[in-house]
Amino acid sequence: MKLPHVLAHLAIYLLSVVMIIFGLQHFLHPHDLLNYVPQFLPGGIIWVYFVGIAFILVAIAFITNRLVKAAGYLLAVLLFIFVLTIHLPNYMNAGNMEMKQSALISLLKDTAIACFALYIGAGALHQKLHMEDSD
């Protein structure tokens, strides 16, 4: 296996670990994250658990190399929804510079992860997570 393949797989595995940690945080501290659910969405805390499950399922898909394209694209869509419905409004309506800076960091972080998820999804046809002679 060539070094670029190893590094690409390592990056995907690290993203999977991050997504599992984010997902677990949704179950360990759901009421803290409830503040981020937009008021116009009915269901409240259900959305916190839904996102936690989604993050963990995406990580499992990436680790097992199953449904990677769908998982990558769905994660990207979910994160872009967060950017548009949570982080951008928080940035625009921040009361002080610290809150504005925090919202901007979250906006950029979710945009970057969404772009990486799109990249993973787009390359899923060529992704192989096991050693092969053809590499």
Q: Identify the pLDDT of residue 130.
A: 45
| Beta carbons of 30 and 45 less than 8 angstroms apart | yes
pTM of the model: 0.82
Q: Identify the pLDDT of residue 117.
A: 94
**pLDDT tens column, 77-89:** 999 999 999 999 9
Alpha carbon distances (Å) from 116 to 23, 33, 70: 18, 24, 14
Statement: residue 134 has pLDDT above 70: no
Percent of the chain with pLDDT strictly greater than 90: 64
| Beta carbons of 58 and 78 less than 8 angstroms apart | no
**pLDDT tens column, 7-39:** 888 999 999 999 999 999 999 999 998 888 888
The more confidently predicted of residues 3 and 111 is 111
Q: Identify the pLDDT of residue 127.
A: 58
Q: List CB contacts of 79: < 8 A, sequence separation 6 or more.
A: 110, 111, 113, 114, 117
Q: Identify the pLDDT of residue 42.
A: 87
Q: Average of pLDDT values for 60-80?
A: 93
CA distance 103 to 90: 6
Tokens of 98: 């610290």
